Amino acid sequence: MWERGRPPRKQRPAPLILPASALVSPPPPRFVFPRSLFALASRAMPSRRPSPVILLLLALALALLFLLLSPSGPSASRLSHSFISTSPSSSASSPPSPVKIYLYDLPSKFTYGVVRSYMSARGPSGSSDAAAVLADEELRYPGHQHSAEWWLFKDLRRRGPRDRPVARVDDPAEADLFYVPFFSSLSLVVNPIRPPAAANASEAAATAGPSYSDEAMQDELVEWLERQSYWRRHRGRDHVFICQDPNALYRVVDRISNAVLLVSDFGRLRGDQVSLVKDVILPYSHRINPFKGDVNVDSRPALLFFMGNRYRKEAGRSVIHFFKFLKMREM
């Protein structure tokens, strides 16, 4: 009860009395640490016998590992050889394997026959008769031919030492590349631009030999190649042609554009015919005289040397722009 006019008093809560046993701290929890994963798995999973399939796979894996690591195993030597060949020290000391090239045995009219036709059309009097009795190997390097045509062909025909970076193979199935040794640049200039004038028509008819057609030779060459199985296999992508003269093989360049072309420049070829990815630019050095001066790097007064014509048959645009750039740098 409370008096009239006064608020009721709040009742005090009764004290909480705990037993003495509740004041003692409980013991720490006990954790069970299994000795291995197998013990943990045995606690979590009911015990069962191992599957025969798992045992069989484990036995096969162990047997295979034993065969690979055994010195008398069938693949031990190959395995050790692969480890040795991939090690950095051995790869640095051992030379790389040479590129295997198959040299096509073209009909003679595409190689030495071009030389004979050139000597017959352009050589001095009697040279064609002398060339007719010579064997192919006795023919010498003719003039007006790009030297790379001649020397690549002669070098591949020569059986050189084993440490060469290029190895000629007799079996085309082993070849990485196929070289087509057509003398395309020499074939282009077999017929003289201005034939020598004869005294009369009868003399001209008597001295005139069989006509030579570079266009016909190009067509016959591609027709011969298209009958070869290795040309058809990759459409000529692993074949190599040399056409250093800007007009060499101009008639059939679209038919051989998949092949690797050895050219002197890209001035007269389209982008779908040549590219820096597959083709190679060879030095155009057959008309440049050798440099007789000192070539020591330390004594050079200039860092750049160019020898050649600035204007070359409506081409050479890069040379012209580069020449103008150098002239501006001198000012």
Q: In this predicted model, what pLDDT tens digit does every residue of 254-269 receive, in sequence order? A: 999 999 999 988 878 8
Secondary structure E strands in 82-129: 99-103
Nearest to 216 by CA among 180, 191, 233: 191
In this prediction the pTM is 0.59
If you write DSSP's letter for every residue of 124-177 in order, what string do you get?
A: PTTHHHHHHHS-GGGPPPPTTS-HHHHHHHHHHHS---TT-SEEE-S-GGG-SE
Residues 6+ apart with CB under 8 A from 187: 114, 214, 217, 218, 248
Point out the least confidently predicted range of 39-48, 107-116, 279-288, 305-314: 39-48
Query: What pLDDT score does 328 carry?
Result: 79
Instruction: Give residue limits of the domains in the chain.
Output: 99-192+212-281
Q: In this predicted model, what pLDDT tens digit does every residue of 269-306 receive, in sequence order? A: 888 898 889 999 887 765 666 667 766 667 766 666 66
Query: What pLDDT score does 76 carry?
Result: 42
Residues 6+ apart with CB under 8 A from 301: none
